[in-house]
Amino acid sequence: MAMTMTQKILAAHAGLDSVEAGQLILVNVDRVLGNDITSPVAIKEFNKLGVDGVYDKDKVTMVMDHFAPNKDIKAAVQCKMCRDFCNEHEVTHFYDVGRMGIEHALLPEKGLVVPGDVVIGADSHTCTYGAIGAFSTGVGSTDMACGMATGKAWFKVPSAIKFVLKGKLNKWVSGKDVILHIIGKIGVDGALYQSMEFVGEGVKELTVYDRLTISNMAIEAGAKNGIFEVDEQTEEYVKAHSDRPFVAYKADEDAVYEKTYEIDLSEIKSTVAFPHLPENTRTIDEVGEVKIDQVVIGSCTNGHYKDLEEAAAILKGKKIAKHVRAIIIPATQDIYLKALQNGLLTTFIEAGCVVSTPTCGPCLGGYMGILAAGERAVATTNRNFVGRMGDVKSEVYLASPAVAAASAIAGKIAGPLEVL
């Protein structure tokens, strides 16, 4: 039976020769992930199961990133619960302040995910790892608890949508613009419980970091996962971060897809998602005059070194507008250190930005950049729902690092060419 990339990975992990869309299967997972918000709930459920310990201390991972460093007493209690659990069960991959990063940037960097893996995480943006050819998806905390205990998870096999990429991105256009363009095209439920599979000659024109951004936001189109074909770039990245063997799966030529879209990368412009949905997109020439109060460059979507480098190239030698607060959040400690060593932090600070330790912080309205009523922010984050970054009467505009940096300088939503 012909299968997609996702279906092949799931079949292999279920011990089956083939699977088909809609089939219910029990799958062996390679990694179970939780953070400081979702893990405490999973720990409580895990303790009810009466098992002696986690199924594999090397395959359970907890990352303290959402409200860490702790923003208040409740956050401190949550992190302590995770810390105590991981100490008790000798969990190898526990990442706390000083060693942690934003989870979906940290795991690929640490080599904890490789092509062909199945990863479940109690966080909706776990779909990020499809960028390197893995099947990864978000689950609830109860599923995380069962995964920690048994190393297994139930899935309904998703059908798929194929995105055939061609052409090459123009300067200052990145993976963020690609995924916003796609979500604007198909809508926030356009891939509901489906696999978004990215193939074509255009894939090689995207960096691994562009792909991480695109896969990260597959959930914003309602997808079960997003996944890219493994190519030389993927293999080079994975081998630089991990010594684990891996399997690169490719869809059968006659695999069945619900829909197929052709995307010409050369036609994509800088794109902004207006409040209050990621599908509410406009190209930079359609934006109009939108004054802003804050810019956030970071998150699991766009906190990679490439993102910071892009923003710094625009901010270098310039000052942000006097009425704008600009917050830069490197996604991991390694990214933070590299940005420090290469002078990016100097560029940011001289421009008038503040640089934070790795944290999800403002992305989910946690801390480090909460908005008041009536305020507007341009953010490289992944969601702009009502009240996502603060007051329900605030507004979040999603954009690429290039647009965010340019907007910080202009004091309004602007493209790079407007300030360079």
Q: Tens digit of pLDDT for each residue in 233-264?
A: 999 999 999 999 999 999 999 999 999 999 99
> Which single residue is written with the structure tokens 């991981």?
86
- pTM (2 decimals)? 0.95
Q: Are 78 and 275 in contact (CB under 8 A)?
A: no
Question: Which residue segments constitute the domains of the chain, with CATH numbers given?
Answer: 5-264 (3.30.499.10), 270-418 (3.30.499.10)
Please report which confidence band the pLDDT of residue 95 belongs to, taking 50, 70 and 90 as the band edges. Answer: very high
Of 130, 145, 114, 151, the closest CA to residue 29 belongs to 151
Q: Which helix (H) or strand (E) holds 248?
A: none
pLDDT at 207: 97
Q: Are 10 and 135 in contact (CB under 8 A)?
A: yes
E strands, 100-176, are 118-121, 135-138, 152-156, 159-166
Please report which confidence band the pLDDT of residue 228 belongs to, taking 50, 70 and 90 as the band edges. Answer: very high
Task: Assess whether pLDDT exceeds 90 at residue 78.
Answer: yes
Determine the average pLDDT of the residues in 62-72. 95
Q: What percent of the chain has pLDDT over 70?
A: 100
Determine the average pLDDT of the residues in 281-300. 97
Task: Assess whether pLDDT exceeds 90 at residue 17.
Answer: yes
DSSP string, 280-324: -EEEGGG----B-SEEEE-HHHH-SHHHHHHHHHHHTT----TT-
135 class by beta-carbon count within 10 Å (0-12 exposed, 13-18 middle, 19+ buried): buried
Q: Which helix (H) or strand (E) holds 325?
A: strand 325-328
CA gap 334, 99 in Å, rounded:
9
pLDDT at 1: 84
Please report which confidence band the pLDDT of residue 92 belongs to, taking 50, 70 and 90 as the band edges. Answer: very high
pLDDT at 420: 87
pLDDT at 262: 97
Of 187, 130, 182, 173, the closest CA to residue 5 belongs to 130
